[in-house]
Structure 1
Amino acid sequence: MFLINGMKQAVLPASDRAIQFGDGCFTTARIVEGRVCMLDAHLQRLQVACEKLFIAYTAWQELTGEMIELAQGVERGVLKVIISRGSGGRGYSAANCQHPVRILSVSAYPVHYDRWRVEGITLALSPVRLGRNPQLAGIKHLNRLEQVLIRTHLEQTTADEALVLDSDGFITECCAANLFWRRGRDVFTPRLDQAGVNGLMRQFCLQQLALAGSRVVEVYEREAALSSVDEIVVCNALMPVIPVRQYGSQRLSSRELYSFLAPLCEQTR
């Protein structure tokens, strides 16, 4: 089901800048028992992204109501919200774009996440790298061609997820998740001020680890840093956190970090 500016439809004008330039932002939320998990955080993410992209979106009350309404009656599902700059002007100029467009849709929950939480997943190093761009780093904008290429390559392997580096060779994220790794008592996660998405579950995990007094370091590290880790976990707002059982030929059996984070992340529902 799709809602576009509050109307049940699934068609956008060809002039919409989401189509023309990928000009907009989005968020993807988990629905559990008719409620949008982390609703306020998802709305704040969209607000921050619109500010960074200079999209003058103001209909937050209408959007909030539609998110709540679409989730009602859904036992488990996925709610995606897109904000496009809309139509107007010619070429790259956004001077005449006065009416941003909101697009909401609901889809089935990825049931393989249930199996992944039990079994753990495998990671493979992706040959596709993320371009460094501090202006866009952190936000979930609509320019996702890098992720499309990462996923396309991943589907040619037997791995479940991809380890993704940036164009300077630093560990950044997975195709559709953030990651943490543990070495002894210390926990590490990539810095995301140059590339990658600062996911809501990543932010939540950082907060919970800080409250527990854990030493967490945001780092620029190269792929070789993972050769000596005790544990890797990945997370996003849908999973919400999943252990990694193997990276390349390296098997990982410890679930200490996962066991700490998993019950806390489930409380975000």
Structure 2
Amino acid sequence: MFLINGLEQDTLAANDRATQFGDGCFTTARIEQGRVSLLSAHLARLQLACQRLSIVFNDWALLQEEMCQLAAQQEQGVLKVIISRGAGGRGYSGAACLSATRILATSASPSHYARWRSEGITLALSPVRLGRNPYLAGMKHLNRLEQVLIRSHLEQTDADEALVLDSEGWVTECCAANLFWRKGQDVFTPRLDQAGVNGVMRQHIIAQLAASPYQLIEVVALPEALADADEVLICNALIPLAPVQHYAGLDWPSRELYQYLAPLCELSD
């Protein structure tokens, strides 16, 4: 189901800047028991992205109401929310856009995530690297061509997810997930000030670790750092957490951190 500016429809103006330039931002949330998990965090992500992209959007209460209404229509599923700068004008200038466009869509939950959680996943190193851009780093903006290419290469392998580096060769994230690894009581995650997406579940896990026996360290690391890990995990708002079982001849049978975090990742607003 699609809802565009409050109307049930699946047609977008051809001159909307979402299609013309990828000029906008989005978030993807899990629907659980008819509610949007981590609703306030998803709204905060959109608000921050609109601020950084200079998109004028003030209908936050209406958007929240629409998100909750769509979620209430299904027990479980996925809710995607897009905000574009709107329609109007030509060229790169957005001065002619009179109002932002809000797009909401629901779909079924990915069925393979349950298997990922129970069995663990395999990573493959992606040949596609992320460009470094501190101005856009961390945001989930609509320019996702890098991820499309990463996914295309991933589908040519037997792996479940991709280990993605930036253009300098530093570990950054996965195709559609963030990455953590544990060595003893230290938990590492890549810094995302140059590239990558600072996911809602990543932020949630960092907050949970702050009150845990573990010490979180945001690092700039090469892929070889994983060889020294006791455990590797991926997360996103939909999974929400899965252990990594295999990567490049390495195996991680430990589930210590996974068992600690998994119940905490089920928390909602």
1:174 is matched with: 174
**Aligned-pair distance for 1:56?**
0.2
2:44 is matched with: 44
Letter in 2 for 1:84: S
**Aligned-pair distance for 1:48?**
0.3
TM alignment of 1:137-176, pairs within 5 A: 137-176=137-176
**Aligned-pair distance for 1:150?**
0.3
Contact 2:186–2:214 (8 Å) recurs in 1: yes
Provide the rounded CA distance (Å) in 1 between the counterparts of 2:168 and 2:20. 29
Contact 2:128–2:146 (8 Å) recurs in 1: yes
Provide the rounded CA distance (Å) in 2 between the counterparts of 1:19 and 1:3. 17
**Aligned-pair distance for 1:210?**
1.1
2:237 is matched with: 237
TM alignment of 1:3-18, pairs within 5 A: 3-18=3-18
**Aligned-pair distance for 1:268?**
2.7
Q: 3-state DSSP class of the match of 2:141?
A: coil
**Aligned-pair distance for 1:214?**
1.7
Provide the rounded CA distance (Å) in 2 between the counterparts of 1:206 and 1:71. 26
Q: 3-state DSSP class of the match of 1:266?
A: coil
1:69 is matched with: 69
Contact 1:18–1:85 (8 Å) recurs in 2: yes
Letter in 2 for 1:117: R
**Aligned-pair distance for 1:89?**
2.1
Q: 3-state DSSP class of the match of 1:176?
A: coil
**Aligned-pair distance for 1:267?**
1.9
1:246 is matched with: 246
Q: Deviations over 1:170-218 (max 9, x none)?
A: 0000000001001122110000000000001111111111111421110
Provide the rounded CA distance (Å) in 2 between the counterparts of 1:7 and 1:75. 22
What CA RMSD, in Å, does the superposition of the two structures yield over aligned residues?
0.8
Letter in 1 for 2:222: R
1:220 is matched with: 220
Q: 3-state DSSP class of the match of 1:211?
A: coil
2:256 is matched with: 256
1:265 is matched with: 265
Please state if 1:22 is matched with 2:25. Answer: no
**Aligned-pair distance for 1:164?**
0.2
**Aligned-pair distance for 1:227?**
1.3
Provide the rounded CA distance (Å) in 2 between the counterparts of 1:144 and 1:261. 29
1:183 is matched with: 183
4+ residue stretches of structure 1 with deviation over 4 A?
none
Provide the rounded CA distance (Å) in 1 between the counterparts of 2:49 and 2:93. 19
Letter in 2 for 1:170: W
| Length, aligned pairs only | 269
TM-score (normalizing by structure 2): 0.98
Q: 3-state DSSP class of the match of 2:210?
A: helix
Q: Deviations over 1:16-40 (max 9, x none)?
A: 1000000000000000111111111
**Aligned-pair distance for 1:73?**
3.1
Contact 1:33–1:73 (8 Å) recurs in 2: no
TM-score (normalizing by structure 1): 0.98
Contact 2:37–2:267 (8 Å) recurs in 1: no
Q: Deviations over 1:11-65 (max 9, x none)?
A: 1111010000000000000001111111111111000000000000111111111
**Aligned-pair distance for 1:224?**
1.1
